[in-house]
A = this chain, B = another copy of it.
Amino acid sequence: MSISQAPVVCTVASADRPGIVAAVTAAIAASGGNILELHQHTDRDVGAFTARIEVDAGVDLDALQGCFDDLQVSMGLTCTIYEGGSRPRVVVLCSSVLHCLSDLLARIDLGELSCDIVAIVSDRTDAADLASRAGVPFFHVPVGEDRARQEAAVAALLDEMAPDLVVLARYMRILPEHMVGVYEGRMINVHHSFLPAFIGANPYRRAHERGVKMIGATAHYVTAELDAGPIIEQDVTRVTHADRVSDLIRLGADLERAVLVRAVGLHLEHRVFVVANRTCIFR
């Protein structure tokens, strides 16, 4: 019998049907668990059920896992128990713009994010110094003449690192589809616009030309289609006619680091569910 010493998180994903909450919460109660916080959502468009439940210390984890196994068989529910304390392995890909990487490193150092960056991979050398000061292995994989070769080398590095999560922190290259598929639902990118406005290159220049009064940034899971994956977090800030493209880049940098770090935090706390290319997020 394994009694949890700290709160645990349970997630439930399933096709919708009556009685799911009753069944899952009965299982928790039967295992001696007391619910601290329960979020549940049913996407009526596609009939998908999702829930996140925090259960207080004192639940019998073996009993609960047994109940959840039964519910898998009897009702087709996918229930997962996450105990705290583990440190997910994260690989960061970046290029020459480094504020997002810098912020991730600082927050891990301050204890604000509970994960370990096990490698920093880049097509440029700019991040080497930052990696070195943080004591994180740095891998420079330059592009040279053969793009496919570089992509294969990055893919091989990732395979070797076996990360739980890959973060594209202003990595300026498009990943090949096969790589994206491997890390579905656990590869997060930050795009420097309020998607779906300004998909692709030079969003700040285009925002300035359009004369928008707010600029934004978007963190999303990477899918095969460019800048079209499930959005996790977005934010915006006001700009004025007096802001030039260089000002938008400067102001946008704060949005980018903020949405990326929030998205990574939400993912690490098992708060993000993907349903029909949209995210359901329980805060």
| Given A22-B25, A98-B110, A99-B110, A210 and B233 contact (CB-CB distance below 8 Å) | no
Flag whether A102 is at the interface (Cβ < 8 A). yes
Flag whether A10 is at the interface (Cβ < 8 A). no
Flag whether A230 is at the interface (Cβ < 8 A). yes
Q: What separation, in Å, do the CA atoms of A216 and B196 have in the docked complex?
A: 12
Point out the residues of chain B lying under 8 angstroms from A38, CB to CB.
21, 38-40, 51
How many residues of A are in contact with the other chain, CB < 8 A? 67
Partner of A231, one of B43, B44, B210: B210
Contact with B along A198-216 (1 / 0, CB 8 A): 1000000000001111101
Q: What separation, in Å, do the CA atoms of A214 and B231 have in the docked complex?
A: 10
B281 touches A240 (CB 8 A): yes
A residues touching B (Cβ–Cβ < 8 Å)? 16-22, 25-26, 28-29, 32-44, 51, 98-99, 102-103, 106, 109-110, 112, 133, 194-198, 210-214, 216, 230-236, 240-242, 244, 250, 253-254, 258, 275, 277-281, 283
